[in-house]
A and B are shown apart, each in its own frame.
Chain A
Amino acid sequence: METTSLTIPELRQKLSSGAIRPREVVDQLAARIAAVDPKVKAYLHVDAEKARAAADSANPALPLGGVPIAVKDVINVKGDPCTCASKILEGYVAPYDATVIAKLREAGAILFGRTNMDEFAMGSSTENSSWGPTHNPWDLDRIPGGSSGGSAAAVAGHEAFVALWTDTGGSIRQPAALCSCVGLKPTYGRVSRYGLTAFASSLDQIGTFSKTVEEAALLLEIIAGHDTRDNTSVNRSVPKYAASLGMGVKGLRLGVPKEYFIAGIDPEVEKAVRAAIDAYRGQGAEIVEVSLPHTQYAVAVYYIIATAEASANLARFDGVRYGRRAKNPKDILDLYRRTRAEGFGAEVKRRIILGTYVLSSGYYDAYYNRAQKVRHLIADDFRQAFKKCDALLTPTSPTPAFKLGERTQDPLQMYLADIFTIAVNLAGICGVSIPCGFTSGKLPIGLQIIGPKWGEETMLRVAHAYEQATPWHKEKPPL
């Protein structure tokens, strides 16, 4: 029995009925990876033996008993490498489990493999990985999106059932759109960040990649919740997200922000998203036009706030406590400077410099403080819009996947790839990308559904209604 194409509920059913053993599932996944990953390069590290050992002691009665889960290389799993795709962390072995990992273990999951990413999650294409880029399973000459490109490619290529990822400015949703899978970014504070290597602490959130909306809902139920080790996680009950799926969209008001349909959006992307909006109207939702007037400033705000926070967070990589250290330093400053010069890649250096600059004396008021204020205006745009609707519908990415190398010399063009996903992180609200079609060249297109703070239940219900009425999520890339 071939299992790698199954969804989690389908796999769970086969495991709990005894139709297949957890070890066979791991073996099949390892075989699939061996067959296609030399082309896709989604994984940085796979320890199939460890996974087999975990499979042999798996308890199929648990909610994720025997289910293998891939993890982005930025979340600490005790005893596993966690390099953040950076040479500065080469050889680092995590001494503890992140809270989300502890929760997955408790639910019976088998932690299987670490997926590729842009170094320290900085990028939109996974080309900034120190270990080489991941390729899009739908077209190997193209990028899978980023920064969580390895995870998206692994799920899309059926090299993983589901994967855990982080989203700082669109790192889950944008690759999900470009690879035709479901990428969920929960509300800021919904999931503990303890054990996640920080990029931009006020924006980072852990989320999920999956083939279906139901799986995203099931996983969120498991990983969400308050954690005393992360004071930004919020003490609020966790709904049974999967229970409200299937209720349809009749009577819901869905907003379409006019600022998300701008010049420069690919015509095939716009057509597919407009068709999805019509499909919702056909299912009985009321479509309302809304305005998010500060949308055009989101990318500028993001690249000030995210780089400022990154410059502070990445100060800890100094060659003293973990990771790489430059050889024969002549003094402590030389040790810092050369360790960081040797360990960080170009994009990380670029962002550390920009972040240091916008926080430096004489400039923080003009850049950082002003960006914080515009961020509040962006958050307020969403609050006003959600007075008129229950969720928003937008494209996830303005274009389908671009070619490898196309934007690496032009950071600004690369930053604009996140134009539709960044505002959600700045406002601390939730978003999900689901497949909504393909271009004539068979490249995936994503629909983004945005919910207010703590609006995951309704947002996932909206996502599920479209998914169930369309065939997109059932298509498999020609690997």
Chain B
Amino acid sequence: MANPSSDSIDVTYVADLARLKLSAEETATFQKQLGDVLGYVSQLKEVDVSKVSLLGDADLENRLRTDEVRASLPVAEALANAPKQENNLFVVPKIVE
């Protein structure tokens, strides 16, 4: 298990995982602010959770239904908000050359 400390977050690396481009200024600000927040949440280390199950006592049950075709959003409406579309498809930049 990693041993988190208040300065262990690498904002540039995590922002890349989250597909977020940050300016140098944002990176510096977030590094400081998130360090403070992680310092604050590190108080959870003092709680004894050795007897607690990860799932708790969730009282929800699986809900099963028959697999049948139902009315859904027409293609034209589903595409209506797309920034770019063609031939009933979303268009994105080329991924494979």
Shortest beta-carbon distance from A345 to chain B in Å: 11
Alpha-carbon distance between A367 and B38 when the two chains are bound, in angstroms: 9
List which B73-89 residues lie within 8 A (CB) of chain A.
73, 77-78, 80-84
Would you give the 0/1 interface string for B32-53, flagging 1 where the beta carbon is closer than 8 Å to chain A?
Answer: 0110111011011101010011
- Does B24 count as interface, using CB distance less than 8 angstroms? no
- Interface residues of A, CB < 8 Å — how many? 68
Smallest CB gap from B34: residue in A: A354
Interface residues on B, range: 35 or more
- Does B95 count as interface, using CB distance less than 8 angstroms? yes
Whether the Cβ atoms of B44 and A321 lie closer than 8 Å is no
Main secondary structure of the interface of B (DSSP, over half): loop
Whether the Cβ atoms of B77 and A374 lie closer than 8 Å is no
Residues of A within 8 A of B (CB): 91-93, 95-96, 189, 228, 231-232, 234, 294, 296-297, 299-301, 303-304, 311, 315, 318-325, 329-338, 340-341, 344, 346, 349-350, 352-354, 356-357, 360, 362-363, 365-367, 369-377, 379, 411-412, 415
Smallest CB gap from A349: residue in B: B20
Give the residues in chain A near B45, CB-CB below 8 Å.
Answer: 370
Among A93, A333, A365, A415, the residue within 8 A (CB) of B80 is A93
Shortest beta-carbon distance from B13 to chain A in Å: 9
Interface centre among B54, B84, B90 (most CB of A within 10 A): B54
Interface centre among A231, A300, A319, A335 (most CB of B within 10 A): A300
Alpha-carbon distance between A356 and B37 when the two chains are bound, in angstroms: 14
Give the residues in chain B near A349, CB-CB below 8 Å.
Answer: 15, 20, 22, 26, 30
Give the residues in chain A near B49, CB-CB below 8 Å.
Answer: 370, 373-374, 377
Give the residues in chain B near A311, CB-CB below 8 Å.
Answer: 18
- Does B69 count as interface, using CB distance less than 8 angstroms? no
Among A332, A333, A338, A377, the residue within 8 A (CB) of B47 is A377
The 7 closest A-B pairs by CB, nearest first: A325-B83, A376-B56, A322-B81, A373-B49, A337-B21, A341-B21, A300-B41
Give the residues in chain A near B93, CB-CB below 8 Å.
Answer: 329-332, 334-335
Whether the Cβ atoms of B77 and A95 lie closer than 8 Å is yes
Main secondary structure of the interface of A (DSSP, over half): helix
Among A91, A357, A372, the residue within 8 A (CB) of B14 is A357
Among B43, B63, B92, the residue within 8 A (CB) of A297 is B43
Residues of B within 8 A of A (CB): 1-4, 9, 11, 14-15, 17-22, 26, 29-30, 33-34, 36-38, 40-41, 43-45, 47, 49, 52-54, 56-57, 60, 63, 65, 73, 77-78, 80-84, 90, 92-95
Alpha-carbon distance between A374 and B2 when the two chains are bound, in angstroms: 18
Whether the Cβ atoms of A304 and B60 lie closer than 8 Å is no
Give the residues in chain B near A96, CB-CB below 8 Å.
Answer: 73, 77
Interface centre among B30, B37, B57 (most CB of A within 10 A): B37
Shortest beta-carbon distance from A32 to chain B in Å: 32
Smallest CB gap from B63: residue in A: A231
Give the residues in chain A near B82, CB-CB below 8 Å.
Answer: 320-322
Alpha-carbon distance between A93 and B77 when the two chains are bound, in angstroms: 10
Beyond A228-B65, A360-B14, whether A297 also contacts B47 by CB under 8 A is yes
Whether the Cβ atoms of B1 and A366 lie closer than 8 Å is yes
Beyond A335-B93, A363-B2, A370-B49, whether A356 also contacts B83 by CB under 8 A is no
Beyond A93-B80, A322-B82, whether A341 also contacts B22 by CB under 8 A is yes
Whether the Cβ atoms of B1 and A373 lie closer than 8 Å is no
Q: Can you give 18 contacting A-B residue pairs, CB < 8 Å? A: A93-B80, A95-B81, A300-B43, A303-B41, A322-B82, A332-B92, A332-B95, A337-B19, A338-B21, A353-B11, A354-B34, A356-B17, A367-B41, A370-B45, A372-B54, A374-B47, A379-B56, A412-B36
